[in-house]
């Protein structure tokens, strides 16, 4: 296995760990970092950022908790400056579709003079199987302040495949990819398709932002609740009710369908109840 000058920031996240797996399968050994890596990377501590970029040519960046969070643009601006000074050639940034804060961060990178690839992703399929909605699926109720808005759910495996390719192939330089699945669905549609393959009886309940805030606050605290409510109110206003061509442009094939994701997740035991 050859050593590669590739940095993965956010390597333990849902997308990041799949990017690492893709690169490893291709024979590369990326430097995968996070808060608990040998040389920790922490968005709250800039003291060793320059060390992470020594000898690095390309980097994948996932921001925690979200590019829409207060202060994200300042952090991204600082990271870009450090990376540019270290001689980075291209940064691959995971972004959020329809998020004004995320777009500000995209613009910082795009206008920096660094090479860039922007992965503007819609709602992840895997939020239902290994993310914030998985407990609700298991309990039989997905509750969100999304009304009956349509969402082009995207499979994380598609995002990770594109990210890995962008880290290796110059054809992705200075590209913005709008990453969506192949069709628009409501969360009720998603609940129905999960039910069909999981053996669970899952339904969707559109709730108010206030009720959503109360539920999230009880589980994760008011700061997380504030961020998630603000995000939902922004992205569930209809702005994302369209299909993007990013997967086809980047990979030359259609994106994976939600039904395929459901079959694979069910087969892998994502929704299997404990005995």
pTM of the model: 0.96
Please identify which residue in the block is written with the tokens 């539920």. Answer: 215
Q: What is the pLDDT of residue 2?
A: 38
How far apart are the C-alpha atoms of 147 and 228, rounded to whole Å?
A: 15
Q: What is the pLDDT of residue 131?
A: 86
SS3 assignment, position 179: strand
Q: What is the pLDDT of residue 275?
A: 56
Q: What is the pLDDT of residue 4?
A: 60
Which residue positions in the chain have pLDDT lower than 50? 1-3
How far apart are the C-alpha atoms of 174 and 114, rounded to whole Å?
A: 9
Nearest alpha-carbon partner for 258 in 243, 273, 239 = 243
Q: Mind listing the domains of the chain with CATH numbers?
A: 2-125+154-181+242-256 (3.40.50.720)
Each residue of 29-38: b (16+ CB within 10 Å) or e? ebbbbbeeee
Q: 120 Cβ partners below 8 Å, 6+ apart?
A: 95, 96, 97, 102, 106, 176, 177, 178, 179, 244, 246
Q: What is the pLDDT of residue 210?
A: 97
Instruction: Count CA atoms closer than 13 A to 268's CA, side-chain side.
Output: 10
Q: What is the pLDDT of residue 1?
A: 35
Q: State residue 244 phi and psi, 5-degree precision.
A: -95, 165
């Amino acid at each position: 296995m050859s050593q590669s000058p590739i940095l993965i920031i956010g390597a333990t996240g849902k997308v990041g760990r799949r990017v690492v797996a893709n690169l490893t399968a291709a024979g590369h050994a990326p430097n995968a970092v996070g808060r608990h890596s040998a040389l920790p990377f922490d968005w709250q501590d800039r003291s060793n950022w320059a060390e992470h970029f020594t000898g690095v040519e390309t980097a994948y960046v996932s921001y925690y908790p979200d590019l829409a969070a207060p202060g994200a643009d300042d952090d991204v601006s600082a990271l870009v400056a450090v990376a540019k000074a270290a001689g980075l050639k291209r940064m691959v940034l995971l972004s959020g579709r329809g998020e004004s804060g995320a777009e500000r961060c995209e613009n910082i990178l795009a206008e920096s003079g660094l090479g860039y690839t922007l992965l503007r992703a819609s709602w992840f399929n895997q939020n239902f199987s290994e993310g914030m909605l998985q407990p609700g699926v298991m309990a039989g109720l997905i509750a969100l302040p999304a009304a009956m808005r349509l969402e082009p759910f995207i499979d994380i495996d598609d995002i990770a495949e594109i990210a890995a390719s962008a880290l290796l192939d110059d054809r992705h330089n200075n590209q913005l990819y709008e990453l969506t699945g192949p069709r628009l669905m409501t969360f009720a549609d998603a609940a129905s398709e999960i039910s069909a393959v999981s053996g669970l009886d899952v339904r969707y309940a559109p709730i108010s932002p206030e009720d959503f805030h109360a539920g999230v606050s009880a589980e994760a605290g008011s700061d997380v609740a504030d961020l998630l409510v603000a995000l939902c109110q922004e992205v569930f206003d209809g702005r994302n009710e369209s299909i993007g061509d990013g997967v086809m442009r980047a990979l030359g094939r259609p994106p994976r369908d939600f039904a395929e994701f459901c079959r694979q997740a069910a087969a892998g035991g994502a929704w299997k109840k404990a005995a």
